[in-house]
Every structure is written in C-alpha cells, then in structure tokens.
Amino acid sequence: MKEKILAEFHSRFGENPVLYASAGRINLIGEHTDYNGGFVFPGAIDKVIMAAIAPNETDKVRVFSIDINEEAEFGLNEEDAPKQSWARYVFGVCREILKRGGIVKGFDAVFAGNVPLGAGLSSSAALESCFAFALNDLFNDNTIDKFELARIGQSTEHNYCGVNCGIMDQFASVMGQKGKLMRLDCRSMEFEYFPFDPEDYELVLVDSRVKHELADSPYNKRRESCERVAKRLGLETLRDATMQMLNSIRTDITAEDYFRAKFVIEEKDRVLAVCDALNAGDYETVGQKMYETHKGLSEDYEVSCEELDFLNDIAKECGVTGSRIMGGGFGGCTINLVKKDLAPEFVETVKTKFKEKYGHEPKVYPVVISDGAHKVEETVEEVN
C-alpha cells in the first residue's frame, strides 16, 4: 500500500511527502454502554488508512483517493466545503482544527485504505484520525493533545458528515497501541491500557452483510428505557446502578425497562471482569463474557437478529472461545475469539453454513490489535 500511495503522489504532485496512517477498530466488549456512562473496550487493528501528505505553499487542499479514484480540491474556508462525501471527512478535520485555533495550510495528499467500508470497523474514524494526526504533526508541532485529535474526528462526523457518533471510534483509532486494548470510561473519559496479545488465539470478525432497517427507531427506545430506569433510581445514568437496586424497583417498572437496564448493569460488570481476566492472561474467561454479552444483547436488550444469532450458534458449535455481536446490532458483524488451530475450520464452517441458510457468504476478517495513528517512517525505524 505504501509503495502504491507514494508512486501515485509522485506522479500527481511531485513533492516529497510524509506518510501517515491510522487504524480501524474493534470493540471487544462493552456494547450500548457509552450513553449509559459505562465503559467500552476498544483497540486499533491492522487495517488502516494511509496518506502521503506534503504542504503545497498555497491556500488550497488537493486530495486524491486511490480507492475511489477521484481527486477533490477545496479551500479552507467554511464556504469551500467539497461535494464528494469522502472529501468532507478531510475538509471537516481541517475545519475542526482551525475552529480550535490550530493551523492548517494548503497541502497535497494521496490516500488509500484497507479498512472495509461500513462493516463496523470504522473506516471513517481511521480516515479522520489519519488526517488529524498528520495535520497536527505537519502544521502544529504536535501541540494538539491526542484526545483532542479524537474529538476533532468526532466533530467532523457531527458537523460535516451528518453522523451523530460517540467518541469511541476516533479514540481507538488515535490512541490504539499494538497488543493493547483500552478501557474507556464514557463518563469521565479516563482510560487505561490492558494487555491483549494472545499467543494461542486470534480475533476473527464475521460480517453477516445484512442490516435490518427498523421503522420505530429502536435505538432511541433503548435509550429512553435506560433513562427512565436511571431516573426512577434517582441516578443520572445507569453507571451507578446495581442489580440489587434494579430488583428493588422491579414491580414499579415495565418488564421491558427492567430487562434493558439489567443488560446495561451486567455489561458494565462484564467489562470489569474482562479487564481482570486479561491482566491474568485468562482468555477463556474473556470468551465466556463475550458469549454472555451476546445472550444479553439478544434476549434482554433485543438488538440481535436471526442472522447474528445464527453466527453465534455456529461459533458455539465449533467450540469458538468467545463470540458476540459487535456494534449497535440488527445486523453487521460478530467478533470471535478463536483458538488459532481452530480458526481455519471455523471460518470454513461459518461461511458454508451461513450461505446454505441465507444465500450469501459472510465476509471474514481476521484482525490483530495494532498501533493507532502514527507517522509511517518512524514506525519502520522503531521496528528495525
């Protein structure tokens, strides 16, 4: 990818660019917890967006996307916003840095990526984080704090791409480190690294390639249930709720609200249990918690679907260590913690059985927990 990007840059723009990259992400556990003030547990992966960038001494930005095979040119003022949706991510990052008093001058860039688009691995966060990191390095002497770079990506989605996302994806993409997952406290924004470098297991994502559009905005309904129960308990969010507290009001709330809150409370505890297990190198417990999360998402939170439950069942039948829905639900991926020697057989089985039942093969992506945003040359030196 590096050679392809540099060759394209040289033929298109000529100058000597600097290479930057940032990663897609997975979330091992901690689903539907962010808006309840709980924890998420993401890590950056070995699928990246990489960009070659050089200042061009003008007030214009010229960016070429290799994967889309299109060039965009725009100025740095608000009214200069490009029409191409992919270029709005780059424009948004520039604008958000400028809004914060940072410096962005004209530059030329060529980029490409191997984060699958729209598969739940957050290619958009990889794109934003790559450019945010690069522009911080090129024009701001790295004076913008790394967490702020993640916020710049998040604001880009909100203000330029019409996606009202949380901070997790950009956080993971910017802050990720090889062999480490991060527990992010969505209330305080404090975070801590935990080792994730299993010798005998690998992570395999299975993308069902289905997305069920539901008419009655199920996400908002889940949120409202959580808010209602928190309020009833006199809490701001379910973060501080316990099962004992929930059980004490069980007869005062609807069964639906009870089970939604139960999932959120149990999920928070599962994240903490996974942290302990990882510190002890106990991947079997990690896997067990993943299955528990799936069950909770399916039965209590009711955000699964037939296809995802089927993928989970196959994982179980194959003896996969852990498996669960990753992301909001109603389609998308499962994340699977698989013993290395079992992985080829699992992949084969899941593809065959899923196709038999649903008529198309799921996409399978093995992933390794890797570094987040970085300058590419530096990493090469570090490795040597």
Give the residue numbers annotated as catalytic, written as ranges. 169
Residue 208's closest CA among 314, 288, 122?
314
Q: Which does 287 bind (CB under 5 to 8 A by kind): Mg ion, ligand ADP, none?
A: none
Q: One symbol per residue from 38 to 77: x for binding ligand ADP (CB under 6 A), - otherwise; what is it?
A: -----------x---------------x-xx---------
* DSSP codes, 147-198: HHHHHHHHHHHHHHS-----SHHHHHHHH-BTTEEEEEETTT--EEEEE---
Distances, alpha carbon 373 to alpha carbons 178, 209, 293, 304, in Å = 11, 28, 29, 32
Q: Which is nearer to ligand ADP, 253 or 364 (CB)?
A: 364
Q: How does 74-91 read in b/e, with b if 16+ C-beta sit within 10 Å?
A: bbbeeeeebebebbbbbb
Of these, 123, 225, 304, 334, which contacts ligand ADP (CB under 6 A)?
A: 123
Our finding on whether 273 is near ligand ADP (CB under 6 A) is no
Our finding on whether 336 is near ligand ADP (CB under 6 A) is no
Our finding on whether 293 is near Mg ion (CB under 5 A) is no
| Contacts for 179 with CB less than 8 Å, ≥ 6 apart | 195, 196, 197, 369
Our finding on whether 156 is near Mg ion (CB under 5 A) is no
Cβ 161 to ligand ADP shortest distance, Å: 7
Site for ligand ADP, residues 137 to 196, rule: CB under 6 A: none
In angstroms, the first-to-last Cα distance of the chain is 19
Q: Stretches 115-123, 177-185, 187-195, 289-297: which one binds Mg ion (CB under 5 A)?
A: 115-123
Q: Stretches 55-63, 69-77, 123-131, 250-258: which one binds Mg ion (CB under 5 A)?
A: 123-131
Q: Which is nearer to ligand ADP, 22 or 65 (CB)?
A: 65
Q: Which long-range contacts (CB under 8 A, 24 or more apart) does 71-77 make?
A: 71/12, 76/104, 76/106
Residue 362's closest CA among 204, 215, 253, 214?
204
Cβ 173 to ligand ADP shortest distance, Å: 10
Distances, alpha carbon 238 to alpha carbons 3, 34, 227, 282, in Å = 49, 11, 8, 28
Our finding on whether 27 is near Mg ion (CB under 5 A) is no
Our finding on whether 1 is near ligand ADP (CB under 6 A) is no
Q: Which is nearer to ligand ADP, 117 or 280 (CB)?
A: 117
- Could you count the other beta carbons within 10 Å of the beta carbon of residue 276? 12
Q: Which does 85 bind (CB under 5 to 8 A by kind): ligand ADP, Mg ion, none?
A: ligand ADP
Q: Identity (one letter) of the amino acid at 122?
A: S
Q: Stretches 97-105, 116-124, 174-182, 267-275: which one binds Mg ion (CB under 5 A)?
A: 116-124
Which parts of this chain interact with Mg ion (CB under 5 A)? 122, 124
Binding site for ligand ADP (CB under 6 A): 49, 65, 67-68, 85-86, 89, 112-113, 115, 117-118, 120-124, 127
